Amino acid sequence: TIPNACLVALGLLVGAEDFSAGVGTAVSCGWDTDCNGATVGSILGVMLGAENIPAHWNNPLHDEIEIYIPEQNGRTISDLAQQIYKLAHQEK
């Protein structure tokens, strides 16, 4: 919706140099808090780079992810991110 898009835009503006401030703003504004926070966090993660996401966001995850595709089980978040990066940069 337009209100959610506006809150995402606000979170991106506030978080241009501060991941926590951007996500926090998007969530604090209300409406669709989980989706808005996730959208802002995803975009800021790409913009700022993984090294600029504060550890308190990443550490609780222990680089683990549950995947319900048997041949993908046991993979890590960083492994999947690396695979996506490689796929995105393949020559077509």
Enter the pTM of the model.
0.83
**pLDDT mean by block of 10 residues, the chain; 92 residues:** 96 97 97 96 94 96 92 89 91 72
The answer to whether the beta carbons of residues 29 and 7 sit under 8 Å apart is yes
Residues 87, 29: Cα–Cα separation, whole Å: 35
Sign of CA dihedral 24, 19, 40, 65: negative
Sign of CA dihedral 10, 49, 82, 65: negative
Predicted local confidence at residue 79, as pLDDT: 92
> What are the residue boundaries of the structural domains of the chain, listed by start?
1-57, 62-92
- 3-class state of residue 33 by DSSP: helix
